[in-house]
Chain A
Amino acid sequence: MADLRAMWRIRAFEEKTQALCGTGDIRGSVHLCIGQEAGPVGACGVLEGSDALFATYRGHGWAIARGTPLRPLMAELLGRSTGVNGGRGGSAYLSAPEYGFHGENSIVGAGAPIAVGAALAGRYDGTHRIALTVFGDGAMNQGSVHEAMNFAAATCLPVLFICENNRWSELTPIKDAVGSDILADRPRALGMTAVRIDGNDPDLVRRTIGDLAAAARTGGGPAFVELATQRLVGHYVGDPQQYRTREELAADREQEPIARAVRELTAAGVAAEEITAVEKNAREEVEQAAQAALADPLADSDSAREHVYA
């Protein structure tokens, strides 16, 4: 039930975000993680306060699962001064380091070397933090990800490389963009443990990443986890998805983590009202956060030149 609750908070946030894009309240590129909620919910459960988390532009779910409150998060998307970055990050490049969320990144694969640095810092500052970097299947074809994986392996740093494989590298299937679609072969060849797991099962994600995190904390070096999942929406809000078939989407809806959790809870005898209440509560919480954020002042244009330098 806790996982369903956590996944619904993300799903409801994303659906509200989509609606606010439709009304023009949110402007610019927005990339939703609808269908991919199990990864962040499972993985963030094993992170400690001093650990670092770096996500991609499809990162709202990771920010929420790490503990960022919904109102300043929504305010950020809405360009409000109360946003986690005062409106400077937006949907695709926001951060909330006070909650252990060290940021999204709008450049595919760029967060991986930065995460390596966060783990490197932990070797000297006494925290021995692990750093978790999340990227999509498309980022597997970026040089920066390879450089980061090899650097972490060569220096035995506690970095967990999490690849959310939703099968679509933006608008192109990953299988059309690789010679071998066994993505875990690459990190394995660089000398680290690499596994592919069902990314729609938050508990499996939690246990797998928990084990690898524990090994990394005790000097086991980096590891790679491929989360097999799916994106139920387009690459960006407004993506007509002409590249996808109806059949494929229907199959994905069968697999997606919330429908699956509901099936499992129902089979385990949990009452339907209890399950629907989870969705209702999540939507209410998100609605309140969104209404509060909508009432917040716009980012202050007088401040646009601040913080360029120390």
Chain B
Amino acid sequence: MPEQTIKVNYSGAVNAALQRVLAEVPETLLYGEDVAKPGGVHGVTRGLWKEFGDRVFDTPISESAILGSAVGAAMMGRRPIVEIMWADFFLVALDQMINQAANVRYVSQGKLTAPFVVRTQQGNSPGACAQHSQNLEALFLHTPGLRVAMPSSPQDAYDIMVSAVHCDDPVIVFDNRTLYFGQKQEIVTGRPPAPIGGSVLRRSGQAATVVTWGAMTHRVLEAADQLAAQGTFVAVIETPWLNPFDTDTVIESVERTGGRLAVVHEANTTAGFGAEVITRVAEAGVLRGRPARIGVPDARMPAAPALASALIPDTGRIIEGLARLTADR
């Protein structure tokens, strides 16, 4: 596949990646609720049914059947890409991810495998109700056997989807729907699939290390810019892959930044993956002082935008947390 530069927003990048894998991996199938003829509720899969015919199809509103059939088809050699329309809808069918997909390879000693990709989107957007706003990555990060990614840029959205489809494990790719219709950006397509994993240093600095992922990356970078204008430079590491997680890079960075670490995510703080990141760094013996864990305080998510924004970390709250961390020497 030749390298090419195209200008797309996040949703266009996912679409381009799906178009590519459907073309280059004959075992792929793409299905889910409203993904084929309607092109997806967010339009991400638009046009793919026309191009790939019956390898792209609409299903009943049956998450257990969607995920379970993906497990079964993958066991028999296909590489299904299925959509869970909102991550909250995973919850009616968790059995197929946690009891089924995650066990296939392990229990059969690799005689059976389940290489499939679940595409979903999550997080709060203005007015979204409590059942359409949750950030659920920690549930799946608690489950060995599953891979989890959460990109924030069109280039990563493209690359991660390609890598996920070529990966031999079940992979969940969480989009954040507030990113779908962002600015168009130039991205490079057609590069060979990269191995899964890794992280990106989005900004360098010595005052502290900030680890983040998903849509929160943009707010963290804004906060870091504002702190830089005041003379405090923090390193920002985005970890679009949460499993495998690039623990080594985080530990090295925390060591370089005086042992100071903050983790910022949109999910609830209690038992969020941020707690795990801090623990890994603490176990490595490089943590100094009090780490900062910035996420949604433990609450349900209200629909009214004014209420929701009181809970979700914004640039101000992130700056506050980081200022405390960098002052705390």
Contact = CB atoms under 8 A, between A and B. Distances in A.
Contacts of A8: none
A260 to B, nearest CB: 35
Nearest to B31: A120
Given A98-B111, A150-B62, A121 B77 contact: yes
A108 to B, nearest CB: 10
Contacts, number: 148
B60 interface: yes
Interface stretch (B100-108, B272-280, B316-324): B100-108
B70 A117 contact: yes
Interface in B131-184: 144-145, 147, 167-169
A122 interface: yes
A308 interface: yes
Nearest to B29: A124
Nearest to B115: A310
B65 A52 contact: no
A114 B169 contact: no
Contacts of A26: none
Interface in A98-155: 98, 102-103, 105-107, 110, 112-122, 124-125, 129, 131, 143-144, 147-148, 150-151, 154-155
Contacts of A121: 72-73, 75-78
Given A107-B95, A114-B100, A148-B64, A102 B112 contact: yes
B205 interface: no
A310 B169 contact: yes
A277 B62 CA distance: 51
A90 to B, nearest CB: 9
A114 B75 contact: yes
Contact of A116 (B72, B78, B111, B112): B72
A200 to B, nearest CB: 30
Contacts of B72: 52, 54, 113-121, 131
Interface residues of B, number: 47
B69 interface: yes
Given A52-B76, A125-B78, A150 B108 contact: no
A113 B71 contact: yes
Given A107-B99, A110-B100, A117-B75, A308 B145 contact: yes
Interface string A72-100: 00000000000001101100010101100
A110 B99 CA distance: 9
A35 B63 CA distance: 35
B77 A125 contact: yes
A118 B107 contact: no
Given A89-B107, A124-B55, A118 B75 contact: yes
Contact of A308 (B62, B95, B108, B144): B144
Given A93-B103, A151-B60, A307-B108, 6 more contacts: A89-B108, A110-B99, A114-B96, A117-B74, A120-B78, A310-B169
